[in-house]
Structure 1
């Protein structure tokens, strides 16, 4: 089963089986220092979990991209806002626009070639734009969940040190957190 099929099969029950702590999501947004009137790309938006919090930052636009059409359908059913555009696409095939912020919330382990991912995202980010990778669970918890499912057992979340080393080829890493509560890295394109 490929990633698209895996997430399509889970879309209808995703919000029930995944815990997304409101307090942690607000902390992720606060750590990111989002300016008003920004253009934001939400990579692997899934059911749009992060969209609610991004909208509170008064963006010009949020482009919420996911390869699963079923996840996008669930996300669309939750939001009726002209500032949000939901797009079914593999992010590696997405080339629309330049953004001040790119978020990868709860999706990063599913990219096998992380160097190729960052090279691509670098092209979509404005100068001084920020990329944020975040999970509202610990690296250990995410990896334990993935190990139990054959479809994603190889989709491991690396340490922030490993990710920072890859990112630093393209971005200037500014913040990182890797503890029992969350995983967070932000970096800026210079």
Structure 2
């Protein structure tokens, strides 16, 4: 859907939300996509552009006669399937494995801004979805938070409360200083 945002790669509990997917290639130079593997009797389907992302379907396979390495791929641009030379017989690279493609391992929010605490969610990335990383990963720093277990005096409810410096919750003290006369 073309949504662009930030997501948490690894949660605070250490669990990964996504992993690098090695089944994708990126075109490094313009190259033809053909209908069959054999380059001597193939037809050109279309020319691939620099930066175009290709999903691996089969290969890589080295042609014994020509010495080129070819893979069967599907273009993420238009879902066209065909064969592409990734390495020429002189060692020229036409496409290389991409390290920017990640597969989502568990549902995770895609957020508008980098700081996750104050960012709105654009949508939820679902398990199995493949995304392209445009920037990062970056480590997000959080303020230290103290947590206390307490009981409410009014109704006896027991639970955990976070003491965050920006909030108005202060530790209890047996003595207070009078700030003004009453």
Tell me whether the two structures share a fold, i.e. TM-score over 0.5: no
Which has the larger helix fraction?
1
Which has the larger strand fraction?
2
TM-score normalized with structure 1 length: 0.18
